Structure 1
Amino acid sequence: MIKNYVLLLFIFVSNSIVSQTSNDNLINNAKKICEKNQKLFCKAFDFYINKEFDSCYVYSSRALVESKSQKESDILNYIQSFSSRKKKLFKKALENLKRISDNPEFIGLKESQLGLIQLHLKNYNESLEHYVKWESLDSLYGSERKLKMDSFHNIGLCYMHKKEYVKAKEYFDKEIELVEKRDTLDIIALKMDLANVYYNQYLDDEAIPLFTEAYNLSKIYSNLELKQNSTYNMAIVERNRKRYKESVEYYREYIKWKDSIWNRDNIIGLAEKDKQIALAQKQQEIVLQEEQLKRQKLVQNGLIAGASGLVIFIGFLGFLYKKLKKQNTLITQQKEDLNIANKTKDYLFSVVSHDLRSPINTIRGKHIELKNHIENNDLPALRAATDAAIAVTESTSHLLNNVLHWSLEQSNQLLFDTKEYALRPMVQHVLHDYATLVEAKGITINSELENVLVKADKESLKIVLRNLLDNAVKYMNREGEITVKTGSYSDTEAYITVQDTGIGIPQEKLDKINALKDLTIDKIDRSKGVGLGLLLCQTLVKKNGGSITFESEVGKGTKITILLPSIEE
């Protein structure tokens, strides 16, 4: 008699991930990507974790378009393949899995899922190829007990469908070694599969008790598919045993469970349709919201662009204003400089016209005297007139030097080089130049010079000293003395004093001279009796960072003190 084989084989499909280590890698990598604020990716992965596979499928598709790295793309393809398998879209699941790279972190997940899907598609050889590859990787990745049980079970199913019952039993035995009493679903499925292995080898004595035990266990388990499968198996077994009455009873029970499953699936299908409608509505709402957000963003970008343009325009106006203001300031400064230059020019012209008129007239008169003395052959008178002409010429030369120095200083053309100098050699050099002149006039120069270091411009100080000595000689009442001293005034200042025994300066004029440090060129009035030489002295001393003061008494002489910044030796 030909045996009617049990046609309905229970395929146990694991919802777990093959490798717990791989699953940890998946979650850890997903968390790192979410830290980079990848919103679509995170939303898709949250739906996967919460087993909302429809939403996971939709959002993973959108996230794949925006994926920025291979690792991100691998994770999205995996969770979409998982969702596709749950939705029985096996070909789509295969497409996603083939796009996953051979990254060691995901290869175990990839191979186990490929084996599972090929089993669903009844491609048993392809399924075994992937499971065998996963089994070789399993030692690298490690798996928890339940996950190994699921994989061994599916491998056994592949061999059983290929009628390689020895290999099938080998993997079912591996599963038995891992099964525990609390794994009721696994025990029932395992007993049915082992029963089928024995039954297809005509080992009824081993198979029938296992079918019966699986049937009895399914009664206390809530899974309708298990109840249907175990009942159907018993109906086939009893029919082959020619126990038709018992077989009919099992068939009736089988039909009852089949109807229950149909009703449940119908309800689930309706619920699924409602869910799909709700999902479609939600997607439409999302699209509308996205369109609204795009419009808002467009308006916002327009406002930002307008505001940016306004800010740039205001900045440009500010730049123009600053530029115009700078130009106006420059024009104002140039106007002031021009006014000062004009006043300086007017002042110098007044000096030249006033101070040169008298000496020129004197020189002209002396020339006439010289001519008369030559005609009369009066040698003593000729000598006296010549000396007088020389003195007037020297005075005029000194005046012209002052005019030149003053003009250069006012136009910032006077060279000014501040360095450290010793006062004594500089003063000695100036006094040596005056030795012949003062000796001819019967004037004695005394000097008490300490070797003090100062920080100043040497040439401008020489101009100051020459002016002071010229004035001392000019206002000396014939014979007299000039005393020049240098030394330390304080820790930070050195002094130069020029004291003479000349006619002195009236108090009123002395006050005006001492007030020169507070005057500017536009306030100077030559009618007040302050000469260009003293004004030049005040200016150059101030430019050297020092000060100059005048002390005088009519009939007794004048003392002039210059203070300059000193340097410690």
Structure 2
Amino acid sequence: MTLKLLSFFFFLLSFILHSQNNNIEDKLFSAIFEKSKKNHSNDDFKKASIFFIQKNWDSTLIFTQKTLKKSPKEKSIKNLSFFYRGVSLFRQQVYHEAENQFGLISNDFEFINKVQVYLGAINLKLKKYEKAISYYQKLTKLPNKESLYLNEAILFDDLALCYFFLGNYNEAESYFKKSNVYEKDTLNLIDSYINIANLYYQQYKDNIAIPYFKKAYNLSKKINVDKKKFSEKDRKIYYRKSVATKNMAVVEENQKNLKKALLYRKEYEKYIDTLNNRNRIYEVAQKEKEFAVATKQKEVDFLQVQNELKETQRNNFIYIASILLVLLLISGYFYREKVKTNHIIAAQKETLNELNATKDKLFSIVSHDLRSSVNALKSSNAVLVDNLQSKNLEALENLLQKNSSIVNGAYGLLDNLLNWALLQTDQGYFHIDTLRLFIIIEHVAYNYKPLLFEKELTFENSVSKKAMIAADQESLKIVLRNLLDNAIKFSKPHGALKVYVEESDDFWNLIVEDTGLGMSEETRLELLKDTALLNKKEHEDVLGTGLGLSLVKSMIRKNNGKFNIESELGKGTKMIVSLKKVSLSS
């Protein structure tokens, strides 16, 4: 029962709230823009209309504010200005203020039905479900919804969500089915399948819910994306793929199909990584675009100055002398700026050389280990083919487990490489907060259950629930993932893993203990050195570069903590992380 309730809360988070169809909304915006052209007397309103059709929400808010300050007499200008502001604030997720702006629109506004759509969506997002229902119910009774720029499928879907969150499952089921009938858009159809599945799953109707989850997953697999352009639509597709895949992972976990669940989770992580990488690329592209615009603007400004100078030269000698004096001063200023810039460039070059040296060393070792992983996988696959032909199932299972370990090791190496790069370039988000250590360990350890099960290792989290520490949550999770990964990697089958704490004056000493291979004193001292980026491996048959441990030490230092190792060859290892204690009273 507990597992089922936990999975329900997971699925609840996977409900997808619809927005109005983009094509319908674009048609609406075009119709509104055509209507706004009739009001040419107000320049600020004209600019606001142009920015609105371009979906430049900040500029729309600025010029509508200027329009309303002048108190226009035309009722249509006021209504459209309030509508522009409501939509802009809604798009920027300022829901309370958006509701206030929509409330100022008069009831005889030509697009009042669309205003009610936005008010319903706002109240749904603010969790005022009964109020949202009152708006949506009125809209469902209107004829010719398409001519009113309404999407009937989305209206029914949003109504179903409202009834679901109110606990009225019969009404929710009815409207979800209606939505499914009217839905034509593939992405929205995936959303509907997921929402219907969650509805049944909440009612413990697994035999009905699971086929809908599978429908959503299978449909998401059929959608292709343009990997070169990766538009906003492609982002939405990847998001649906990730939600559908993650739902399937939890379904398989609940059915104790851990191997299938692990495959789904890996597929989900692939989608999430793609989204994260593309988001970073998109942000860089935006910055480059802004820089290009700024550079072009400087060029325009410079040309304008040149034209002004030419006009001035046609005047008298006094003006020419004044301009020459100004140019001399500007030249001096730019010369000083150039000298200053050269100093900055020299310093940056020195830093860049150091980073390149570190990068070359890192790439050399990482590429060597990746090559070893791929070579091991290649050799294993050759043996796998031979055993497949001979139908040696026991050998096949062992080889598949070996391949899985190799792939997991390579994936962990790449994940550590990304986090190490973010740490070196100071791009990661870092915020020290008060954390309960037991809960963090439970969250991280949950993802390692399949690996623990596969290697038949026992795991015990006996950390005191009173242990409160001051640390950054995400970097602490990276530390724990690497320590648990190493403990599992260097443990023998049927071994044991324990995580516990020991209290000192100012620190909680978090200890990750295994009964694995252990290490020599020479290796232990080498691993504790700050200068070594990567270390020689004690056990050549275990994949690893030492990058994870280097990342662990860096993260612990950033959290004002300490790190130590206790180990003996053949008798297991204790990895000790000391973190600042926070008293419960504080």
Provide the TM-score with structure 2 as the length reference: 0.43
Q: Relative CO higher for 1 or 2, CA cutoff 8 Å, sep ≥ 6?
A: 1
